[in-house]
Amino acid sequence: MPNITVVMTNGQRRQVQAAARGSLMQALRDAAIDDLLAVCGGQRSCATCHVHFDSVEWELLPEMSDEENDLLDGSSHRTSTSRLSCQIPFDDRLAGAVVAIAPLD
Amino acid sequence: MRLGYRTLIWAAGGKPRRLSCPGGELAGVHAIRTRADAAALRDELSAAGQVAIVGGGYIGLETAAVLAAMGKAVTVIEAQDRVMARVAGEPVSRFYQSEHQSRGVAIRLGAAVRSLDGAAGRVTAIQLADGSEVAADVAIAAVGMEAADGPVLRAGAEGGRGIEVDSFCRTTLPDIFAIGDCVLQANPFAQGRMVRVESVQNAADQAINVAKTLTGGPEPYRPLPWFWSNHYDLRLQTLGISGGHDGCLVRGEPQSRRFTAVYLHGDTVSALDCVNSTKDFVQGRGLIGKAVPRSARDAITDPTVPLRDVISACAA
């Protein structure tokens, strides 16, 4: 499992490694990064697990669904590197990625 | 053990309401609230062909959808004359009823449970007040929850069916806050009525609210309530609180399996139920609390007009 760097909303950086298979959202939650609310638990029903990829092999990430795109549209913090972390598998494609938690809307 | 406190935050949640009729304590009668509840149900499902679910709300119908997809013969027993009666309007209820029926779920409306039959201590059937019987290898009580409010109310806090709190989540006792499913609070999105908002969103936002108060930045609690419920390939996303609505506009054709119910209280939009319509869920936030002039109603019911364009046509 890869190591990634997480930038919290207060600017602090942490290394995170996944303990089990799952999504990036689950790995962040399991690492007790609590500025990520992830209210719906990965049901693609909210946008409270919004992250910015500061560094990643972008073309390796799964394509964005219409629903994810619509949900991100509701955030005033959307950027060209925004994703919902529940839609990103935590696997080797994330090796070395730098992921910033987006501020709450 | 005795723990002292300077500030107490009561976040005890609740327990699923049990069936109080004869037979309600038989083996094979389940409720769903915790992961352990779900695991206990799963362990009995392989031997179960027929499942009866008492209660046609979110939990009862979500469970029905999962079990129907597993090939179980599912009957939903609902006391009201439509499913989701407490949480949705008539058009949404009728839509979900027909979706579940088309997947083989039997739905009994206006049905009161009289008793549960058992053999060797295990449930075998549910007897209804009209004299009919629903066979059940497993029965599931999906009839709401009871707030875990006992100790706080016994200590003298105001409440009943929940602990009363003010807009800063303060109980009527000094230094005791309460948050989450166990709380009754006057809600600006429910015309100021005292309601329990039983959702993850509400529990998380009330926790944030108390944290702000304790760290010196108190603000009255008023986040917009939202919720979701998935059945089959149907994604329901809700905004606001629809209870108490006196009008409902339907945006899109329910038969298309993509539509939004816009609830009105007087001329004001009080809630949205968005079915497979994430764009409406995202753009509709700005519509809650807005008065809708008659002239804007055609635009609301026209799904080709984005809700953000409707909002600009409405007064604040």
Angstrom CA distances, A86 to A23, A26, B230, B283, stand at 5, 7, 16, 21
Dihedral sign for Cα atoms in the order A17, A21, A23, A26: negative
pLDDT tens for chain B, 316 residues: list them: 999 999 999 999 999 999 999 999 999 999 999 999 999 999 999 999 999 999 999 999 999 999 999 999 999 999 999 999 999 999 999 999 999 999 999 999 999 999 999 999 999 999 999 999 999 999 999 999 999 999 999 999 999 999 999 999 999 999 999 999 999 999 999 999 999 999 999 999 999 999 999 999 999 999 999 999 999 999 999 999 999 999 999 999 999 999 999 999 999 999 999 999 999 999 999 999 999 988 889 999 999 999 999 988 786 5
pLDDT per position as a tens digit, A66-91? 999 999 999 999 999 999 999 999 98
Q: What is the pLDDT of residue B294?
A: 87
Angstrom CA distances, B179 to B7, B155, B156, B175, B253, stand at 13, 17, 17, 13, 39
CATH of the domain at A36: 3.10.20.30
Q: What is the pLDDT of residue A20?
A: 72
A45 interaction partners in chain B (CB closer than 8 Å): 228, 230, 235, 237
Neighbours of A87 (CB within 10 A): 20
SS3 (DSSP) at B240? strand
Q: What is the pLDDT of residue A58?
A: 80
What the block records as the tokens of B73 is: 């013969």
Mutate to test the interface with B, among A70, A72, A77 (most CBs of B within 10 A): A70
Q: Could you tell me the residue range of the domain that residue A52 belongs to?
A: 3-101
* pTM (two decimals): 0.94
Q: How confident is the model at residue A57 (pLDDT cuts 50, 70, 90)?
A: confident
A40 interaction partners in chain B (CB closer than 8 Å): 200, 228
With a CB-CB cutoff of 8 Å, which residues 257-286 of chain B face chain A? Answer: 278-279, 281-283, 285
Angstrom CA distances, B175 to A7, B10, B158, B196, B310, stand at 35, 11, 14, 21, 45
Dihedral sign for Cα atoms in the order B32, B36, B42, B48: negative
Q: What is the pLDDT of residue A60?
A: 85
Q: What is the pLDDT of residue B315?
A: 62
B200 interaction partners in chain A (CB closer than 8 Å): 39-41
Q: What is the pLDDT of residue B313?
A: 79
Domain count, chain A: 1
- Identify the DSSP state of B11: -
Partner-chain contact A74 B228, CB within 8 Å: no
ipTM over 0.95: no
